[in-house]
Structure formats: C-alpha cells, structure tokens
C-alpha cells in the first residue's frame, strides 16, 4: 500500500467520524455553537470525501 493510498483511506475514516458526530449533534436540534460547528463539519465532509476518493483512485495499487 502506497502512502497516498493509505492517507486517502485514513481521510475517509476521519470523514466518517466527523459525519457521525455532526449528524448526532444535528439530531439534538438545539441552537448554538455546536449546531453551527456541525453544519460546518457537514460542508467540510462534502468537500473532502471526493478529494479522498480521487486520491484513492489515482494511487490504486
């Protein structure tokens, strides 16, 4: 496994963790800083996942 391929997999794992915690926080439906941070994390995940998939496809062994 090459380093870029491994980091693409690691990036997807990190995105999954951020997505899980953001969705859990959004289900609480309380206004405030945590809700705003969860919305930002959703946007971050939606931009980072395609990049990770591109890296995995480009460096697929």
Write the pLDDT tens digit of every residue in 11-29.
Answer: 999 999 999 999 999 999 8
Residue 37 structural domain: 3-58
Domains: count for the chain: 1
E strands, the chain, are: none
User: What proportion of the chain, given as a percentage, has pLDDT over 90?
Assistant: 89
């Amino acid at each position: 496994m090459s380093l870029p391929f491994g980091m693409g997999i690691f990036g997807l794992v990190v995105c999954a963790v951020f997505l899980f915690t953001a969705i859990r926080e959004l289900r609480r439906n309380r206004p405030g800083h945590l809700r705003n941070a969860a919305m930002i994390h959703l946007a971050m995940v939606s931009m980072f996942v395609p990049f990770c998939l591109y890296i995995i496809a480009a460096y697929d062994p």
